[in-house]
């Protein structure tokens, strides 16, 4: 008789967004969504975003987003977000370090320190985590 073993793949425990709350910081993701509705569907509660980035959102939690049809420079893409002037240089420096010059969309989640999770995003993620920046209100 031949026995075979199957590796059990369990869904990893997803952290709560509350585990990342932090004052005066924001987490930024960049990507290539060209339609606001598709980006909002991706980052909405109970979406693939939660699985890809390892945390569950609260029903009332939502980030600010920007979507452009054409590829846009990072500085231009982030200009206009709440408190953008206080974090734009830091965000652009992060993008430059990562050799990211353009994107179609940005997601800025205020009072969230995504790095605190120490989670490696899924290779299937449709956004790139740029980093955590400081901002002034």
CA distance 60 to 78: 23
- pLDDT tier, 101 (very low <50, low <70, confident <90, very high otherwise): very high
* 51 belongs to a structural domain: yes
Q: In which order are the strands placed within the sheet that holds 64-73?
A: 64-73, 102-112, 21-31, 127-134
Q: What is the mean pLDDT of residues 78-106?
A: 97
Q: What are phi and psi of 114, to 5 degrees?
A: -60, -30
* 77 belongs to a structural domain: yes
- pLDDT tier, 5 (very low <50, low <70, confident <90, very high otherwise): very low
* 119 belongs to a structural domain: yes
Contact (CB, 8 A) for 91 and 133:
yes
Q: Per-residue pLDDT tens for 21-41?
A: 899 999 999 999 999 999 999
Burial of 14 (0-12, 13-18, 19+ CB in 10 A): middle
This prediction's pTM = 0.87
* 73 belongs to a structural domain: yes
The total of structural domains in the chain comes to: 1
* 12 belongs to a structural domain: no
Contact (CB, 8 A) for 103 and 71:
yes
* 32 belongs to a structural domain: yes
- Structural domain of residue 103, as residue ranges? 18-134
């Amino acid at each position: 008789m031949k026995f075979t073993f199957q590796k059990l793949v369990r869904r990893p425990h997803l952290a709560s967004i509350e585990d990342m709350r932090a004052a005066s910081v924001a987490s930024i993701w960049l990507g290539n969504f060209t339609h606001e509705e598709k980006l909002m569907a991706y980052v909405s509660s109970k979406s693939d975003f939660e699985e890809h980035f390892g945390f569950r959102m609260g029903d009332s939690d939502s980030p600010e987003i920007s979507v452009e049809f054409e590829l846009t420079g990072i500085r231009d893409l982030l200009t206009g977000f709440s408190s953008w002037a206080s974090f734009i240089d830091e965000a652009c420096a992060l993008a430059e370090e990562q050799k990211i010059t353009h994107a179609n969309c940005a997601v800025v989640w205020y009072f969230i320190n995504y790095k605190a999770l120490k989670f490696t995003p899924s290779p299937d993620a449709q956004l790139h985590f740029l980093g955590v920046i400081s901002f002034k209100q």
